[in-house]
Amino acid sequence: MECTIKWVDGMTFMAETGTGHLVTMDGAPEAGGRNLAPRPMELMLAGAGGCTAFDVVLILKRGRQDVRNCEVKLIAERAETDPKVFTRIGFHYTVHGKGLKAEAVERAIHLSAEKYCSASIMLAKTAELTHEWTIVEVE
C-alpha cells in the first residue's frame, strides 16, 4: 500500500492513493489553512469508521442477515499536548435491517473491533475505544 502527498499551497495538501484516488486535506485557519477540506486527523477517524462499517456489513451479509444500512458515528477526544493522539473514541453503530438478530450485530461489531478492523485496532494502541449499537427494524 502506498500514498503520495503533495503540497498544493498554504496548508492544503493532496493525497494520491496507490489505487489512484485523490483526497484533499487542509489545516485550520489558525494554523495557516483555509478550511477547504478535512484535517488529516479527521480523515484518520473517518478511515477507522469506514473500516469498521465495511467489516460489520460484510460479516452480517455473510451471516445471511438482511442488513439494509449501517451508519457509524465516532466521537473522539485527543490529548491536550503534542503529540495530540486520540485518547478516547466512541463508536456508535446504527444498523438498519429486517429481522436482524441482536447477537449477530453484536458479534459483527466485536469481530471488527477485535480481529478485522486494522484502523481501529491501531488506534486502540493509544485510545480507549467503546462500542455501542442500535438496531432499526425496516419493512
10-residue stretch averages of pLDDT, the chain, 139 residues long = 97 97 97 96 98 98 98 98 97 98 98 98 97 97
Residue pointed to by grid coordinates 478535512: 38
Q: Which of the 8 DSSP states describes residue 124? A: T
The per-residue pLDDT for 32 is 95
Task: Enter the pTM of the model.
Answer: 0.94
The per-residue pLDDT for 41 is 97
What structural domains does the chain harbor? Answer: 1-38 (2.20.25.10), 40-137 (3.30.300.20)
Phi, psi for 59 (deg, rounded to 5): -65, -45
The per-residue pLDDT for 68 is 98
